[in-house]
Amino acid sequence: MLFPFFPLLLLTLPSWARAQPTQRACNNSPLLCSKPYDIITHLGAHDSPFVRTPSNNFNSFGNQFFNTTTQLDAGVRLLSAQVHAVTSPTTGLREWHLCHSICSMFDVGLLRDWLLEVRVWLDTHPNEVVTILIVNIDAASAVELLPEFSSADIARHAYVPKTGVGVTPPPSTPSASSWPTLEEMIDAHQRLVVFVTNIQPDSNNAPYLLPEFTFVWETEFEVVGLENFYCLPDRPGGLTLDTAKSSGRLFLVNHFLYWNQAFGIQVPDVRFLNVTNSMSGVGSLMDHMRDCGQQYAQLPTFVLVDFFNVGPAIQTVDVFNGVTEPVGRRSVSSDVFDRHFGTIHRSGGRERWSVKGEYGALLAFWSLVFLS
């Protein structure tokens, strides 16, 4: 009853979907090796490098509790990050930093260092296909980003589409996908797909830096309230349900909540994580993905979540991918870590925010006076 659209999909499954699993495990499962990249749902860590830790006093702008390497170890296969231009105090030149919103609030260092972390992981996991989504806040050109990828020596893993860097692939059909299978990408040594916003295609210098909205469309990303997760296209503009599906673009579901603070500031909403990342209920990851799958008669290619370990979100994605026995994954705690603001508790089948400790009174006052 959870997936009434599945019979429709099963009737049209091509031969690659009915093939016997191979010995190789791709993206943690032998069942996924023969499936095209666009047919699989890839779990994404929204703002992957922005991690709440004791060392940064559990920065409220952090979107994850574990670093990128741990995310990948645990089954995340899409990593998003915000990139900003920062003037170096020593050279006076522009550097490309990973910052949340603005660099004075949360700067976690150079883009090239984070790319190196991803490259090291790819080198030691030869059967995994990973996607990076760079939110290019200050519109770095392909030429400006090239040194970051060169320094990390990661471009050698990158996927280059046959249709070209600036051309939307034709829509996939039940009998023919526009994207290669995971094992084809692995065998071709093109296991890293890189999407970048606000960038002009540059087929000569960087044919692997794919303009995001040429290849991907997204649902609404500034959601406040569990009841506000929808499946309508939000970016790029001008798409409808029908034109989004027929455009050939991949389907990305944003599934995370913001918490409005004073002065228009938004931070990741940790109060309802055990609902947001769960497998049932209004505002749950399972219901959102199911609803979108029904509306489009196809599953999302990507789903982005905050605090991926809670739920854990990977269990829902496994259901949609048909994965029951994942191979080579690291198990991590599904707890919510936040020593300032308290813990998530269950109450009557729904989660509620429980304020405790020395910050309890301060948070209660802040919530009453400032929250919208």
Write the DSSP string, 74-132. Answer: TT--EEEEEEEEEE-TTT--EEEEEESSSTTT-EEEEHHHHHHHHHHHHHH-TT--EEE
Residue pointed to by tokens 């109060």: 271
For the packed helices 313-321 and 285-296, what is the interaxial angle rounded to 10 degrees? 30
Task: Give the integer Cα–Cα distance in Å for 251 and 241.
Answer: 11
Could you give the CA distance from residue 287 to residue 292 in angstroms, rounded to a whole number? 9
Tell me, yes or no, if 255 is annotated catalytic. Answer: no
Active-site position among 42, 46, 97, 255: 46
Q: Which pair of structure tokens corresponds to residue 158?
A: 């990158």
Evaluate the CA torsion angle 285, 42, 312, 354 in order and state its sign: negative
Here the tokens at position 207 are: 């044919």
The string over 224-248, giving b where at least 16 C-beta atoms fall within 10 Å of a residue's C-beta and e elsewhere, is eebeebebebbbbeebeeeebbebb
Q: State the alpha helices, DSSP H only, in 89-140.
A: 111-124
> 137 with 98: CB under 8 angstroms?
no
CA distance 16 to 58: 45
Tokens of residue 258, six digits: 């913001």
Instruction: Give the 3-state secondary structure of residue 279.
Output: coil
Q: How do strand 130-136 and strand 78-87 relate by DSSP bridges?
A: parallel
Residue from 42, 84, 97, 100 carrying the catalytic annotation: 100
The SS3 assignment for 11 reads helix
Catalytic residues: 46, 100
